[in-house]
Structure 1
């Protein structure tokens, strides 16, 4: 089983790339976002790999991060979701955006993915609401009115607040939702302490 490949990008196509690893060209399917993030042809890259083995084929799926790979696995655990739809979701939403959409129950965000209608989006949110990967904390995307240029500071305070709430025993999706609500109430410049306090009030409702 292949878990990771490091090689040189030989070619990037619409839904896959050819990765040259010591003279062997591996065809690796990726999300559109991962393909867009790849270096130019001839440059080295490392991808986390999910290997699908069936009677009639072996297919490799590549991911820029372990968090993206974990979301790929989780999405396929949802009834009716296969590899193609899972990649479509990850092509539309970054892992942090998907974690946030699941935490907030944002069906409209998930339904933007090709082939994912409101019914499938509802199923994804319902079945994954308590399963967000732990790595999503570090990539948290704050949701605050007027959020914009101060992104790095916001993400740091929000990430610290989420970490604190999960350390108190709250689930990651609940912590995401509580901190997102706290950001909307306190604004994008709120400190981690303020977000924790408001988040705890939100969780106590």
Structure 2
């Protein structure tokens, strides 16, 4: 079982990449997002791998992070979602976008992925609502913060930090997500200046 590949890029195609590991080239099928973030031929690359073994084939799927690989596995627990559909979703939505869509039961966002019809999108947001991995908790925290901001009941330092980040050109959604992550690091009893500093670090990732 292959769990990770570390080597150099031999070639990048439309839906896969060839990774040269000490003279052996592995074909790894990836989401469009992962492929776009890889370097050029000859550059070093690291991919987290999901290995599929069937009677007539052995196929490797590559991911930029363990987080993306976990979503790939989770998506396929939904009826009607196979590897191809899961990659299509991950090509269109980041793990954070996907977690947000599920938290909000936003099937329209999921349906933006090629080949995803309304029925499959509905199944994804419904069946995964209580199955999302631990990292989706962050999305839930961000959702709660956005609701507080919308209702005007967010703490002053939090509202000030979000306002400052939006004044710097970030969207309100990006700013709220960054501040939610900052609060998780610094705790709720923190001033706006520190929230802004930590929020900017999150946005720079």
TM-score grouping bracket, smaller chain normalisation:
0.7 to 0.9
Higher relative contact order (CA 8 A, sep 6+): 1
- Quote how far apart the aligned CAs of 1:36 are: 0.3
Q: Is structure 2 residue 33 aligned with structure 1 residue 33?
A: yes
Maintained 8 Å contact 1:3/1:49: yes
User: What RMSD in Å do the two structures reach over aligned CA positions?
Assistant: 3.1
Q: How does 1:5-20 map to 2 (within 5 A)?
A: 5-20=5-20
Unaligned runs of 5+ in 1: 165-188, 193-205
Maintained 8 Å contact 2:99/2:139: no
- The residue that corresponds to 1:159 in the other structure is 181
- The residue that corresponds to 1:102 in the other structure is 102
Q: How does 1:143-158 map to 2 (within 5 A)?
A: 149-150=169-170, 154-158=176-180
Task: Measure the CA separation in 2 of the matches of 1:35 and 1:126.
Answer: 29
Say if 1:137 and 1:42 are closer, same or farther in 2 by CA, change over 3 A.
farther
Task: Measure the CA separation in 1 of the matches of 2:106 and 2:57.
Answer: 36
Larger CA Rg, structure 1 vs 2? 2
Unaligned runs of 5+ in 2: 151-162, 187-192, 197-205
TM-score normalised to the size of structure 1?
0.72
- The residue that corresponds to 1:203 in the other structure is none
- Quote how far apart the aligned CAs of 1:139 are: 8.1
- Quote how far apart the aligned CAs of 1:45 are: 1.0
SS of residue in 2 equivalent to 1:97: helix
SS of residue in 2 equivalent to 1:73: helix
- Quote how far apart the aligned CAs of 1:156 are: 3.3
Task: Measure the CA separation in 1 of the matches of 2:6 and 2:15.
Answer: 19
How many residue pairs end up in the alignment? 168
- The residue that corresponds to 2:81 in the other structure is 81
TM-score normalised to the size of structure 2?
0.72
